[in-house]
Amino acid sequence: MAASIAYVGGHLQYGVNFCMGQSYKQAIWVPSVTFNGCLQRELSWSCGVSKFLQIRKCNLFQSRTNENWKSFGTVITSAYLRDGSTKYFDFAVIGSGVAGLRYALEVAKHGSVAIITKAEPHESNTNYAQGGVSAVLCPSDSVESHMQDTIVAGAYLCDEETVKVVCTEGPDRIRELTAMGASFDHGDDGNLHLAREGGHSHHRIVHAADMTGREIERALLEAVVNDPNISVFKHHFAIDLLTSQDGSDTVCHGIDALNTETQEVVRFISKVTLLASGGAGHIYPSTTNPLVATGDGMAMAHRAQAVISNMEFVQFHPTALADEGLPIKPKKTRENSFLITEAVRGDGGILYNLSMERFMPLYDERAELAPRDVVARSIDDQLKKRNEKYVLLDISHKPREKILSHFPNIANECLQHGLDITQQPIPVVPAAHYMCGGVRAGLQGETDVHGLYAAGEVACTGLHGANRLASNSLLEALVFARRAVQPSINHMKSSSLDLSASSLWTCPLVPKSLGSDVMHKILRITKEVRKELQSIMWKYVGIVRSTSRLQEAEQKIGKLEAKWETYLFEHGWQQTMVALEACEMRNLFCCAKLVVSSALARHESRGLHYMTDFPHLEESKRLPTVIFPSSHTTGTWSSRQLHQQPIVNSMV
């Protein structure tokens, strides 16, 4: 049974939602219920209860090969980790972007910290964030104005309490970064140069040219490297969270990770775990995200019984570089799309179709400064109507010196391909950019799993609602990384590490026994399946959607996953086996299904979620979409934790 709350028309309604069989039924409303001792006026995400939604299924896309799963997937190994491959820390941090690093630096003052990162520490979405961080730092600006811009951009689905907290605390987080050595651009008057981006009513974007994320990442990494209480484990891929059941509560005790350089599994037992693993851009073929963004944290949390929210709201950045329109095309296909920052439009950039007709005023009175969802849909409409592959973004009418000083990284990238942005327009096309949904987190970053916190893009705090306002993502990561610190410290101090805990969970296996020929075949098939999944998501679950196309995506993804899993297990794969590509694939499947299931549940068009058969915004549906934990007894490989959940009490 899952508690649920609805917010409709300014009035809270209480209800209880029952899971019957294999699918959640519609909520049944009852007049007065209190949850966790919270009074009616205090109910919010921070109470550990959601402001409700609509629910789809307990087990997303029930696999058509459950019998195959039972046949091949019940092989349980008795092997455990060898001595020395278990590590004990007070805090484990999954991810090395701004959220993970900022959190680690604070909790390191109170205990030992492991930062577990998939590739090199700097390889994160933070590092690719060009525009900047939004914060109220100008006397003519106000917290109320920033809140209003955020809520309007979020199509009024934002959690107002969360918005207030983030907009109020944002300026202090910027000042902390400056004190730590982050260098931001200043104007001639000596004050911070504040840019303006789409959806913002004021100049409030703190930036370091067009490489803001890289500068923040540099400053934080430098501090982390110099902190003796922090250990960074690079090239460690997080496989699954280690959890146990304490009555009806799920408790997190750390994670299993695969050292992708040595091909060894390392178990991290920790008192507190922070998920800061970023987004899931690579469920789409064209994304501004780095290769590491395969939704690992969202999928792990879902498998560990955490609540997931608002996954239908995938933000497509309107302006990624369209390689097809460059004079000199790249020699090989990019691993991720090159982002053309929002700030180009904020500085006066104008969008044209290939006939050099300005089109944004036809769609929105704010023209190029409209929120991203509006601009992306407008470009998508132009491309489909005109049967063209890209549009043009022109900033060349601005002074050359200003262009080169504000956008040196973009200018250099384009120049390498024969295009001078001071004289020529930039070919651009929308690309998957940011997940507004994720693991539901409260005002202290807490999740429904005890000992597990979430911050950054992996989390859904309620800030972004149905569409993220430009440059609010780094801000959210900074604010929630700091807000998660004190409750994490409190949890750490009230917990103790069980040095025998490592033996409670089955050890994941590296599939050396399958042989190189079989593994080569599995990896080749997995690569093909990944491309096919991305193609399905782009074609059926893109910028413009419909119920029939979402249902078709659901069927196609279910069949594709079943086919892939059958191939794996027929070639000797076991439930507990792990390899980087295969584990990424299961996470991509899991996140894709979460997106489709959430999209099918929302029968309206709001923010980033546009439905041709429900084209209007419905006030009665101004509710977050929530996916409650699924059953452990059935499901596909992507929806199950690799280890057997131990039946033990919480180790606290």
**Residue 596's pLDDT is what?**
98
484 and 575 assigned to the same domain: yes
155 and 184 assigned to the same domain: yes
Evaluate whether 363 touches 333 at the Cβ level (below 8 Å): no
**Residue 358's pLDDT is what?**
98
Could you tell me the CATH number of the domain that includes residue 343? Answer: 3.90.700.10
Least confident of 306-315, 321-330, 499-508, 535-544: 499-508
Last residue of a domain, one of 432, 456, 486: 432
Confidence category of residue 69, pLDDT binned at 50, 70, 90: very low
**Residue 548's pLDDT is what?**
98
Buried b (16+ CB within 10 A) or exposed e, 351-382: bbbbeeeebbeebeeebbbbbbbbbbbbbbeb
Q: What is the CA radius of gyration of the chain?
A: 24
Work out whether strand 249-259 and strand 438-440 pair parallel, antiparallel, or are unpaired. unpaired
Does residue 286 lie within any of the structural domains? Answer: yes
Does residue 445 lie within any of the structural domains? Answer: yes
Evaluate whether 590 touches 567 at the Cβ level (below 8 Å): no
Average pLDDT over all residues of the chain: 85
DSSP conformational letter for 390:
-
Evaluate whether 480 touches 461 at the Cβ level (below 8 Å): yes
366 and 445 assigned to the same domain: no
Mean pLDDT to the nearest integer, 18-46: 29
The single-letter code of the amino acid at 527 is K
Q: Which of 128-137, 357-366, 627-636 has the highest mean pLDDT?
A: 357-366
Domain count, the chain: 2
426 and 445 assigned to the same domain: no
Does residue 368 lie within any of the structural domains? Answer: yes
Q: Which domain holds residue 291?
A: 83-313+436-651
Give the residue numbers marked as catalytic: 372
Last residue of a domain, one of 404, 432, 460: 432
pLDDT for residue 538 is more than 80:
yes
Q: How far apart are CA 378 and CA 496, in angstroms?
A: 55
Q: How far apart are CA 158 and CA 167, in angstroms?
A: 13
Could you tell me the CATH number of the domain that includes residue 227? Answer: 3.50.50.60
Name the token pair of 593.
């299904």
229 and 351 assigned to the same domain: no
Is the model more confident about 21 or about 398?
A: 398
Report pLDDT digits (tens) over 180-198.
Answer: 988 888 888 888 899 888 7
**Residue 504's pLDDT is what?**
85
Q: How far apart are CA 291 and CA 281, in angstroms?
A: 9
Confidence category of residue 540, pLDDT binned at 50, 70, 90: very high
Report pLDDT digits (tens) over 371-426.
Answer: 888 999 999 999 999 999 999 999 999 999 999 998 999 999 999 999 999 999 99
Does residue 44 lie within any of the structural domains? Answer: no
Helix (H, G, I), strand (E, B) or coil at 87: strand
Name the token pair of 475.
């801000």
192 and 102 assigned to the same domain: yes
Q: Which DSSP helix (H) or strand (E) runs through 236?
A: strand 236-246
175 and 109 assigned to the same domain: yes
Does residue 104 lie within any of the structural domains? Answer: yes
Rounded (10°) CA dihedral 617, 464, 171, 194 = -70
Mean pLDDT to the nearest integer, 110-117: 97
Q: How far apart are CA 407 and CA 399, in angstroms?
A: 12
The gap from C-alpha 470 to its chain's centroid, in whole angstroms, comes to 15
263 and 360 assigned to the same domain: no
Report pLDDT digits (tens) over 237-246.
Answer: 999 999 998 8
Report pLDDT digits (tens) over 447-467.
Answer: 999 999 999 999 999 999 999
Confidence category of residue 555, pLDDT binned at 50, 70, 90: very high
What beta strand segments (E) does 247-313 contain? 249-259, 264-275, 308-309
| Nearest C-alpha neighbor of 183 from the set 159, 226, 162, 214 | 214
400 and 494 assigned to the same domain: no
Q: Please give the model's pTM, rounded to 2 decimal places.
A: 0.86
Last residue of a domain, one of 432, 450, 470: 432
Name the token pair of 608.
């980033």
Helix (H, G, I), strand (E, B) or coil at 57: coil
pLDDT for residue 210 is more than 70:
no
Q: How far apart are CA 509 and CA 490, in angstroms?
A: 35
Least confident of 36-45, 259-268, 559-568, 596-605: 36-45
415 and 489 assigned to the same domain: no
The single-letter code of the amino acid at 412 is N
Mean pLDDT to the nearest integer, 62-73: 32
**Residue 16's pLDDT is what?**
29
213 and 279 assigned to the same domain: yes
**Residue 455's pLDDT is what?**
98
Does residue 232 lie within any of the structural domains? Answer: yes
Q: How far apart are CA 621 and CA 312, in angstroms?
A: 14
Does residue 106 lie within any of the structural domains? Answer: yes
Does residue 465 lie within any of the structural domains? Answer: yes
Is the model more confident about 405 or about 631?
A: 405
Mean pLDDT to the nearest integer, 148-162: 96
Confidence category of residue 126, pLDDT binned at 50, 70, 90: low
Evaluate whether 581 touches 523 at the Cβ level (below 8 Å): yes
550 and 597 assigned to the same domain: yes
Mean pLDDT to the nearest integer, 438-442: 98
